[in-house]
């Protein structure tokens, strides 16, 4: 089953008027210019399902992204359960690994959601994903990437050689 035309589904009714359409337009424009397809699903509850398993079923059954490049992204949000999961297709793993998806959730989505600013959080996350995919991300590297790998390596060597 192919992903439906709409890419934003707010089943929980948390987006302010006009936000769903604005996010939909941003995602459609991104898809038209890059072939990267992203869907956002906001549910009221998982109803005792595991967030990873349930969102993976959706991502697979909808076929989000181009089949030949596996470049789809699903952002699944369960408002009542306070669970968020982002599935990033294998075709995007080189520029947006799962660890970066998790940091976007922790550093952009969760803080906005705590203030009930769902549309703002989702829009910020989409912008970051677009910039990462295009290789133009200019934000705070530590906020998304965390401490540099080299620092950990140096600390490891110091501890190991001591």
Q: Give the per-residue pLDDT at 135.
A: 79
Low-confidence ranges of the chain (pLDDT < 70): 1-5, 137-162
pLDDT at position 10 is 96
What pLDDT sits at residue 3? 45
Please tell me the predicted confidence (pLDDT) of residue 4. 47
pTM equals: 0.81
Residues 120-141 have pLDDT tens digits of: 999 999 999 999 988 776 665 4
- Give the model confidence (pLDDT) of 91-101 as tens digits: 898 899 988 99
What the block records as the tokens of 110 is 């969760």
Instruction: State what percent of residues in the chain have pLDDT above 90.
Output: 62
Query: Which pairs count as long-range contacts for 32-35, CB under 8 Å and 24+ apart, including other chains?
Result: 34/133, 34/134, 35/66, 35/69, 35/71
Q: Which long-range contacts (CB under 8 A, 24 or more apart) does 106-115 make?
A: 107/143, 107/144, 109/77, 109/84, 110/84, 113/77, 113/79, 113/82, 113/84
User: What pLDDT was estimated at residue 126?
Assistant: 94
Can you give the pLDDT at residue 1?
37
């Amino acid at each position: 089953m192919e992903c439906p035309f709409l890419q934003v589904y707010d089943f929980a009714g948390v987006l302010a008027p006009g936000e769903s359409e604005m996010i939909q337009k941003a995602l459609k424009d991104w898809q038209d210019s890059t072939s990267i397809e992203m869907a956002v699903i906001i549910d009221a509850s998982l109803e005792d399902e595991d967030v990873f398993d349930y969102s993976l079923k959706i991502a697979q059954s909808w076929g989000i992204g181009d089949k030949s490049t596996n470049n789809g992204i699903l952002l699944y949000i369960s408002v009542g359960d306070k669970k968020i999961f982002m599935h990033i297709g294998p075709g995007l793993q080189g520029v947006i690994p799962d660890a970066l998806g998790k940091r976007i959730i922790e550093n952009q989505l969760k803080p906005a959601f705590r203030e009930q600013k769902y549309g703002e959080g989702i829009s910020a996350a989409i912008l970051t994903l677009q910039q990462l995919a295009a290789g133009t991300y200019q934000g705070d590297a530590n906020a998304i990437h965390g401490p540099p790998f080299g620092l950990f390596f140096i600390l490891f060597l110091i501890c190991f050689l001591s």
